[in-house]
Amino acid sequence: MHRKGLSLIVLLVVTLLAVTPVLAAHTAPGTSTQPQQEEGVVVIAPGESIQIGLAASLSGDVIPEAGQDIRNAAQLAVDQFNEEMGGIEGFPVELLVEDDQCIPEQAGNVANLFVTEPRLVAVVGHMCSGATAVAAEIYEEARIPMVSASATNGQLTAAGFTVFNRTVSNDDVQGLVVGRYIAAVLEAETLAVLHDNSDYGRGLAETVAAIAAEEGVNVLEPQAIDPAEQDYRAVLTVIAGEAPDVLYFGGYQNEAALIVDQMREVGMEDTIFFSADGVLIQQFLDLAGDAAEGSHLSLPAAEVDEEVNETFDAAYEEAFGLAPDELGPFHAQSADAAAVIIQALMEVATLDDAGNLVIDREELITAIRATEGYEGVSGTITCNEIGECSAARVQVFIVEDGEFVQLEVPEELQMVGDSME
């Protein structure tokens, strides 16, 4: 009885504590310095900034360099906009950066943090596909639009999110072209498929496997590796027993560097290593050294205005002290992601009578998806009805003498069939 009484008191106190601020807010609306927030509308008082969130892996195990590249590029785009245009109606745009380490749980935490920020209107990111899938659910609920510069998994746009857009190409397209390339150009008879069990790596590897099988290549059962480990010799030995012509790997550069090194040990010198944009990073060459020679890597990239690119690269180098290519492949997409958001903000933001900036969340979501013909650093950006904004075509590179050298991809392989959306 005594116990029950105590817990009742505790319950009462907790309830009171929880209700008090709500009561205070309702009884005295005039005393708050914050403008009143309506549902679905962001109101920003004069002198405050409009916030755009950015979430990427900045310290995690998955390509933190690429994450820093994404952050730098978006920061540059925002700074340039503030400097040149003086903000939106005089309200500066501010980038709020969080590190999600490409871990889905961490991405959920970051997203939950972002949705509680009252002045945060949109998000650049997230960086990795697995993290993005988790975060997109949360933003969908909170009606915060997002533009990712690097989350390429095909499922992300197929899932029907209204808030998710990306300035980078869909892996389904990349997988399609690469699958055909392996069959038609490399003329592989047997293809082994390996992935790292990430959304990105697995999705890409399975698409390539399916397309190559359609094209008549003998595709071995896909095998997975654990990125927490570094010894893949056992699974490579089993694969080597089948003597494949090509080994396709869906994953990131750290594991790829180990794989090409260990392929030599298990006697797979004659097998071509093929991977994608997750590996197309200087660090892959640094870690793998000679073992990287002859590796094929694909990258979705659009036709770009050379002049715009050079100006951007120069500004980037001036701001951060190093060339963007040294860090990662997604800077152009990231700058454009930020720019697309700012572009849409300029369309929908209005001033109210009190001089506050008012942004309707639903209008912003619609405006971002309606982006058409924006001339960005990564090419012309036009979003379609499911949020694919990139006009990229798939390029293939080979590693020669420690450099990425572009190879020609036959035009007929680029044709996207009716089966694709």
Partner 1 sequence: MSAVGTLLVLAFAERVDYVTQTNPATFITWAQLFSIGLVLGGVYALIALGYTLVYGILFMINFAHGEVMMLGAYCGYFAMQFVIMDGQHSFEDGAALISTIILPLIVGVVFLAPRRAAATNQPNESLQRSTIRNFVIMPGRFLIGLLIGYSILVALSNGAPHMYLIVVTTLGVLFVVVCGMLFSMLVAFLLERTAYRPLRKAPRLVPLISAIGASIFLQQVALRIFGPGRKAYEQPQLLDTPPNFFINLGTLGVLPVNKVGVFIVILSILLMIMLYIIVQRTKIGTAMRAVAEDKDTAALMGINVDRVIVFTFLLGAALAGAAGVMLGLRGDDLNARFGFTPGLKAFTAAVLGGIGNIPGAMFGGFFLGIVESLGPQMLGLNNDWKNAIAFSLLVIVIIFRPTGILGELTGAKKV
Q: Establish if 61 lies at the interface with partner 1 (CB under 8 A).
A: yes
Spatial distance between the Cα atoms of 157 and 363, rounded to a whole number of angstroms = 20
Sites for partner 1 among residues 278-307 (CB under 8 A)? 283, 286-287, 289
**Among residues 241, 355, 402, 410, which is the contact residue for partner 1, using CB under 8 A?**
241
Q: Establish if 79 lies at the interface with partner 1 (CB under 8 A).
A: no
Cβ atoms of 239 and 192 closer than 8 Å: yes
**Among residues 53, 64, 251, 379, which is the contact residue for partner 1, using CB under 8 A?**
64
Q: Establish if 10 lies at the interface with partner 1 (CB under 8 A).
A: no
Q: Establish if 262 lies at the interface with partner 1 (CB under 8 A).
A: yes
Spatial distance between the Cα atoms of 373 and 165, rounded to a whole number of angstroms = 15
Q: Establish if 267 lies at the interface with partner 1 (CB under 8 A).
A: yes
**Among residues 38, 265, 326, 400, which is the contact residue for partner 1, using CB under 8 A?**
265
Q: Establish if 224 lies at the interface with partner 1 (CB under 8 A).
A: yes
Residues 6+ apart with CB under 8 A from 293: 399, 400, 401, 402
- The residue among 67 and 376 lying less far from partner 1, judged by its C-beta, is 67
Spatial distance between the Cα atoms of 351 and 388, rounded to a whole number of angstroms = 31
Spatial distance between the Cα atoms of 376 and 302, rounded to a whole number of angstroms = 10
Q: Establish if 55 lies at the interface with partner 1 (CB under 8 A).
A: no
Query: Nearest 5°: phi and psi at 191?
Result: -120, 125
Which residue type does 150 have?
Answer: S
Residues 6+ apart with CB under 8 A from 340: 147, 165, 167, 368, 371, 374, 376, 381, 383, 389
- The residue among 261 and 347 lying less far from partner 1, judged by its C-beta, is 261
- The residue among 87 and 251 lying less far from partner 1, judged by its C-beta, is 251
State in angstroms the smallest separation of the CB of 301 from partner 1: 24
**Among residues 27, 59, 116, 419, which is the contact residue for partner 1, using CB under 8 A?**
59
Q: Establish if 264 lies at the interface with partner 1 (CB under 8 A).
A: yes
Cβ atoms of 253 and 281 closer than 8 Å: yes
Spatial distance between the Cα atoms of 204 and 299, rounded to a whole number of angstroms = 12
- The residue among 234 and 370 lying less far from partner 1, judged by its C-beta, is 234
State in angstroms the smallest separation of the CB of 183 from partner 1: 24
Q: Which ranges of 144-197 would DSSP assign to H, the alpha helix?
A: 154-158, 171-184
- The residue among 92 and 222 lying less far from partner 1, judged by its C-beta, is 222
Spatial distance between the Cα atoms of 28 and 132, rounded to a whole number of angstroms = 39
Cβ atoms of 386 and 396 closer than 8 Å: no
**Among residues 60, 87, 203, 244, which is the contact residue for partner 1, using CB under 8 A?**
60
Span interacting with partner 1, options 28-36, 218-226, 303-311, 328-336, rule CB under 8 A: 218-226
State in angstroms the smallest separation of the CB of 244 from partner 1: 14
Spatial distance between the Cα atoms of 210 and 179, rounded to a whole number of angstroms = 8
Q: Establish if 326 lies at the interface with partner 1 (CB under 8 A).
A: no
Q: For 153, left (φ over 0), alpha (ψ -120 to 50), or beta? A: beta
Q: Establish if 266 lies at the interface with partner 1 (CB under 8 A).
A: yes
Q: Which two tokens stand for residue 403?
A: 């450099």
Closest CA to 145 of 125, 119, 171, 170: 125
Q: Establish if 28 lies at the interface with partner 1 (CB under 8 A).
A: no
Cβ atoms of 71 and 65 closer than 8 Å: no
- The residue among 288 and 341 lying less far from partner 1, judged by its C-beta, is 288
Using CB under 8 A as the criterion, which residues of the chain lie in contact with partner 1 when the complex forms? 59-61, 64-65, 197, 221, 223-226, 228-231, 233-235, 237-238, 240-241, 254, 257-258, 261-262, 264-267, 283, 286-287, 289
